[in-house]
Amino acid sequence: MELHFAKLHGTGNDFVFVDDFSRDIELTAAQVRFLCDRHFGIGADGVVLVRPSDDADCIAHMHYINADGSLSQMCGNGVRCFAKYLVDRGYVPSGAKHLTAGTLAGPKPISFEVDENEKLVRATVDMGHPVLDPALVPVASRANAKSAQGVAYVRDVPVDSPWGTFSFTCASMGNPHAVCFVDDWEALPDALFPDAADKRLATLDLDKVGAFYERSPLFPERANIEFAAVGEEGIGMRVFERGCGETLACGTGACAVNVAASLTGRAGRENDLHLRGGTLHIVWNDDDHVLMTGPATEVYQGTVEL
């Protein structure tokens, strides 16, 4: 099969996009893994099939598949790229500034900015309200705290590992997230760093510790694992995504970290989230909705044989 595609990324979180408005493309897990392979395939964190939506309010449906072939409910960076794919190809009327994307996590309203060529350069996605109920995240732990609005959630729950105990605050932004804030890098074990004299977020062996916690029994559907540190210029974070491994950015992860930082009193409700691939601006507004703003970029188009 000859497959036409476009490669897009949002702050380094990259995707293979395929037009499937005809609904005649079904990719196997092996084909998805090939497309996402950075040595033998195109290279991406996931594949997006652009399909018609059954919801009349949505311009199209984002069918998102992780790099390992598993289906995902939502991807924050992916949905911004989804908007760009549609805007740049004329699926959105000229002059429009808003659209609604269909996802497995529900409709996502998006406002966007375009350049002089009517190409989308930046988008703000209404990611909806964070899900904190442990049974819905899901996380196999009782709620041990309440938000200012009285919503029960799992806060700083300690979880053992081969490298000691780490504490996680849990939320879902359409997919499950577990956020670990690190206040003292020197206190972490030497085995998690290539150089024991240089312990910081950038040098943490996230492939090791993230992979361990992703599949912890605490997370019955697995989870995206974030390690974060609050600073004067915002919140630094890295993310190990379920089904992908570490990615340069994660939109839902940035939203979850922002929510967790606010819930635990480490930061306010509006922050810049600094990821390896760039910065996302996140606002948890008074209506309990999380707004994510960031860029979307198309890299190239091509054809691949499957």
Tell me, yes or no, whether 131 lies in a domain.
Answer: no
Tell me, yes or no, whether 138 lies in a domain.
Answer: no
Cis peptide before 194 (omega within 30 of 0): no
198/281 same-domain check: yes
115/219 same-domain check: no
Can you give the pLDDT at residue 190?
A: 97
User: Tens of pLDDT along 210-253?
Assistant: 999 999 999 999 999 999 999 999 999 999 999 899 999 999 99
Single out the catalytic residue among 36, 81, 180, 250. Answer: 250
Strands 245-247 and 2-10: unpaired
112/229 same-domain check: no
User: Tens of pLDDT along 97-143?
Assistant: 999 999 999 999 999 999 999 999 999 999 999 999 999 999 999 99
Note if 255 is an active site residue.
no
Amino acid 218 reads L
Single out the catalytic residue among 75, 81, 180, 244. Answer: 75
Distance of CA 89 to the CA centre of its chain: 24
164/227 same-domain check: yes
Residues paired with 227 in a beta bridge: 180, 238
Q: Which residues of the chain have pLDDT under 50?
A: none
Tell me, yes or no, whether 261 lies in a domain.
Answer: yes
195/211 same-domain check: yes
Can you give the pLDDT at residue 118?
A: 95
Can you give the pLDDT at residue 273?
A: 98
Residue 272: Cβ-neighbour burial (10 angstroms; 0-12, 13-18, 19+): middle
46/77 same-domain check: yes
174/86 same-domain check: no
Can you give the pLDDT at residue 35?
A: 98
202/264 same-domain check: yes
Helix (H) or strand (E) run with residue 237 in it: strand 234-241
Q: How many domains does the chain have?
A: 2
149/103 same-domain check: no
Tell me, yes or no, whether 23 lies in a domain.
Answer: yes
DSSP letter at 20 equals -
SS3 94: coil
For residue 279, give its domain range: 145-288
CB distance 303 to 267 below 8 Å: no
Note if 180 is an active site residue.
no
